[in-house]
Structure 1
């Protein structure tokens, strides 16, 4: 049994699968756990990704969960660690990216790491420390309207500095373009000047590969899933990782399918609109939920009726930013989010009871609620559906002989026809 080489801590569920997808593409057999496993028995994988739900929890909870994950990963024998967060740097001035990075550095007795959320394949690039989504700065991308982590500043050096007492620096594109040796020299300069965390520019996958090479000796790397592009090659060069073309292989799963969407992002709104134009869909209304109406029962009956004619349904709470804000004003941010998550989790459990074995889920918080409701404890990562979103299969859980096929999508990811593509892949 191979001992894991790379240990990763992700601050939400879809971010974890996004990162795992990158590692599988690099030839690393990857297992994702849902939370920190209680057992310490070794897992046969090249890379392990612990999916937490720590992005928007209080800072102290995020730090505690992340340190627990690090301890488990170290016990698995991992040689290097990644702290993964969203490619849009989702956070607030209180955290949680800065405080978690500081705590992990302390635990590893390390004095420096980079922060690079770039994911050029999905339109996230960093130039002069500023994060762009497509052709617009982060604060003009729609993320300024995020209900939990509104991003109103594209300058990541400023954003991160507001979260930590550690000195923040920048590894600019001028350095990146000169290669790994130039980056290592810049890291040395930053460390001498007291910098502990540095935003790293990246506008292409080639930049991420160079960053990966330059950071091969850092105990901790932080960033989006794109930062993983260059890491498998380091282990291969050290003769620790074998070349294999089967890292993404998964057995076929049969059974009914359902699509669940809770994200309010632009991409998911487009995907929901495309589905609703020609396929059956049921909308979860949080106001109706707050009144105690049997919304879950209605959604299940809607799905059951369409299953009789072999149709797959979408059950969604996705709304425009304006609609989300109106609901939050009436119910409060926390209550509105909890009602929707709980409802979609309950629907997922009922769908499993109806024989559903394939779940396509949109939204990080929604995905977390659904996998917990289904008692999914770990996932084997399979082929990519869209950039950042792989097919996965459950390992263990309530029904060891009937694994589930899942596609867990970050709200902002995927093409307009993602739901149809995901169903075909699963």
Structure 2
């Protein structure tokens, strides 16, 4: 069966967010953690949406040139291919360039590409081309967001997304503004921009996403860039057109008695979660980041022993590299740190025979989970919006069936770790 939809996730956390949107819309989906060959795809014959989890968010444009075309080709002949970004759209000309990904996608699939960043289900909004995102109870313009404006690798200093992309690509970007969407003129506005390379859609509500999805489906757009707002827009359009009729998956997760948390996040949100978890009897194990970055196996072994001891005694352990924002001089080494933390997690999972683990932080999730030898992930159950429980499919019996939550730094309430252990 030809997939309705395929996506490449620029990190693992955002990729599982797409699985959640598909599950809520009744769309069977699978997320591959390696480029799928025929044998791997054949293991998931029911999937109508397929994805490939990547780590391009932390990569250079040159890396993208050498890797994204092959990754896009591996997704096959889906009706639309989506380059999935974080809903905060953070990127730069040198790291995680969404502009370069846009160029490569248009070259592969044709244009104009649809750019959909607003994700009301995650409290991310776009109005007249400007991005706004929630932090706690408040909503901030992204260049004033308390975390994303100070991101250690890709700080967002520009809220106007067309201007933001202009620093990364020479592509011509047009806008379907919110007033025209509300005037039922989204399709006309998109048609007027037919000579653009990309068309950015505003979005404040689910109704706005429904209008956007109708344009993408009706115009047979072949390539899209943006958040899981793309997925939600398409799901709404498919259901409205009767293309998808399956019931939403309403499975709930069971509680487990042991949980390992592995965090490379430096978000204030994650810092609060770490503090709360300490009050909930989680044993905190602080990593020596410098030692990990130097490749010292003794530090990895220390973390493995400490995590295994904590899991054996109280069942709750968290290995973390930070407790809040880093200084401006901190090195940008999320790939190496994430990989080291992934090796620690893999050893602790196998030693303790764990059934559930939580990774916190985009780079930690992408580079850490890559160390576990997982072939694919499927949706398992909801936990909190944007951070679902997923199930691993792997050749290693210790990893096959493992339940994971991959949490971006901004996701979750203060008691999120315990919510994951309890199953929501």
TM-score by length of 2: 0.89
Are 1:348 and 2:352 an aligned pair?
no
CA contact (8 A) 2:264 2:360 kept: yes
Are 1:80 and 2:85 an aligned pair?
no
User: Equivalences for 1:225-240 in 2 at 5 Å?
Assistant: 225-240=228-243
Q: CA–CA distance in 2 between the matches of 1:317 and 1:166?
A: 38
Are 1:53 and 2:50 an aligned pair?
no
Are 1:107 and 2:118 an aligned pair?
no
Q: CA–CA distance in 1 between the matches of 2:10 and 2:57?
A: 5
Q: 1:59 to 1:9 in 2, by over 3 A?
A: same
Residue matched to 1:116? 116
User: Equivalences for 1:20-99 in 2 at 5 Å?
Assistant: 20-39=19-38, 41-42=41-42, 43-44=44-45, 45-74=47-76, 77-94=77-94, 96-99=97-100
Q: CA–CA distance in 2 between the matches of 1:297 and 1:147?
A: 27
- Structure 2 unaligned segments of length 5 or more: list them: none
Residue matched to 1:386? 384
Give the secondary-structure state (helix, strand or coil) at the position aligned to 2:197. strand
Q: CA–CA distance in 1 between the matches of 2:149 and 2:416?
A: 24
Give the secondary-structure state (helix, strand or coil) at the position aligned to 1:195. coil
Q: CA–CA distance in 1 between the matches of 2:267 and 2:179?
A: 33
Give the secondary-structure state (helix, strand or coil) at the position aligned to 1:359. strand
Q: CA–CA distance in 1 between the matches of 2:53 and 2:297?
A: 33
Match among 321, 324, 332 for residue 320 of structure 1: 324
Q: CA–CA distance in 1 between the matches of 2:150 and 2:5?
A: 35
Q: 1:16 to 1:89 in 2, by over 3 A?
A: same
CA contact (8 A) 1:98 1:163 kept: yes
Q: Cα offset for 1:422?
A: 1.4
Q: Cα offset for 1:286?
A: 1.1
Give the secondary-structure state (helix, strand or coil) at the position aligned to 1:160. helix
Q: CA–CA distance in 2 between the matches of 1:188 and 1:63?
A: 30
Q: Bigger CA drift: 97-106 or 38-47?
A: 38-47
User: Equivalences for 1:11-410 in 2 at 5 Å?
Assistant: 11-39=10-38, 41-42=41-42, 43-44=44-45, 45-74=47-76, 77-94=77-94, 96-108=97-109, 110-134=110-134, 135-141=139-145, 142-179=147-184, 182-191=185-194, 194-216=195-217, 217-246=220-249, 249=251, 256-279=258-281, 280-289=283-292, 292=296, 294-321=298-325, 323-326=326-329, 328=330, 332-334=331-333, 337-354=334-351, 355-399=353-397, 402-410=400-408
Q: Cα offset for 1:237?
A: 4.9
CA contact (8 A) 2:270 2:324 kept: no
**RMSD between superposed Cα atoms in Å:** 2.4
Q: 1:131 to 1:401 in 2, by over 3 A?
A: closer
What is the number of equivalent residue pairs in this alignment?
A: 410
Deviation per residue, 1:253-301 (Å, 9 max, x gap): 9784311111112321221121123322111121344574833222222
